[in-house]
């Protein structure tokens, strides 16, 4: 069976750890995908220079001054690049209605904890790990989900449990989850590319 490469666009506010892992898999020939565009809301984001160094188009689109105009620019840039699936790699801005409408059920995000229990507005990064530890839960995890208008609300696509170790702290849990996330994103995209995993229409 011939696999059509995923046509990926990436949104990253800073370093883009998952972006880097996905690009490495593409370059190694272990992921049937094409990186079409990297966009950041921060002009100095290392993700942009990384993309350019690897021959991928990169663009900064500031969002704070005029979110509606930024939404239109982002949607147009993604479509012009032929992007079919958008990957959020540490993108710290809410997507606007135009982009979400054009890419309904085609925007993927990774969350550093189980959803929906440890998600929602304000639940990101260290806050998630602190909440997991504080809850007395016996495991955390990483969750890949589709993005809609509400934080961490879209359908769940893939998840991996991470059992908590004795004496686990927010620091140690964050380190373990951060190390796991990029490769789990790559594995999930491989499943999508092979047809083993399907997104809703």
The answer to whether 54 and 46 are in contact (CB under 8 A) is: no
Compute the Cα dihedral for 25, 36, 181, 107 and give only its sign: negative
> Distance (Å, rounded) from C-alpha 119 to C-alpha 121?
7
Q: SS3 sequence, 31-69?
A: CCEEEEEEEECCCCCHHHHHHHHCCCCEEECCCCCCHHH
> Distance (Å, rounded) from C-alpha 49 to C-alpha 164?
36
User: In DSSP terms, which residues pair with 109 in a beta bridge?
Assistant: 145
Which residues have a catalytic role annotated? Answer: 111
Task: Return the closest-CA partner of residue 158 out of 130, 196, 118.
Answer: 196
Task: Return the closest-CA partner of residue 81 out of 109, 104, 110, 103.
Answer: 103
């Amino acid at each position: 069976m011939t696999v059509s490469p995923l046509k990926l666009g990436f949104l990253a506010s800073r370093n883009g750890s998952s972006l880097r892992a996905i690009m490495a898999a593409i370059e190694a020939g272990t992921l049937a995908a094409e990186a079409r565009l990297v966009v950041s809301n921060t002009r100095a984001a290392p993700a942009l220079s990384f993309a350019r160094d690897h021959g991928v188009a990169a663009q900064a689109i500031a969002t704070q001054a005029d979110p509606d105009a930024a939404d239109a620019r982002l949607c147009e840039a993604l479509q012009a690049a032929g992007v079919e699936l958008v990957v959020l790699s540490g993108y710290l801005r809410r997507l606007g209605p135009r982009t979400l409408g054009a890419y309904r059920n085609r925007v993927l995000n990774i969350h550093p904890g189980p959803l929906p229990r440890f998600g929602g507005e304000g639940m990101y990064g260290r806050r998630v790990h602190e909440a997991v530890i504080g809850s007395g839960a016996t495991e955390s995890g990483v969750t890949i989900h589709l993005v809609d208008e509400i934080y961490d609300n879209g359908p769940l696509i893939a998840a991996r449990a991470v059992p908590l170790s004795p004496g686990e702290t927010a620091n140690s849990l964050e380190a373990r989850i951060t190390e796991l996330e990029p490769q789990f994103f790559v594995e999930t995209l491989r499943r999508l590319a092979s047809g083993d995993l399907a997104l809703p229409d």
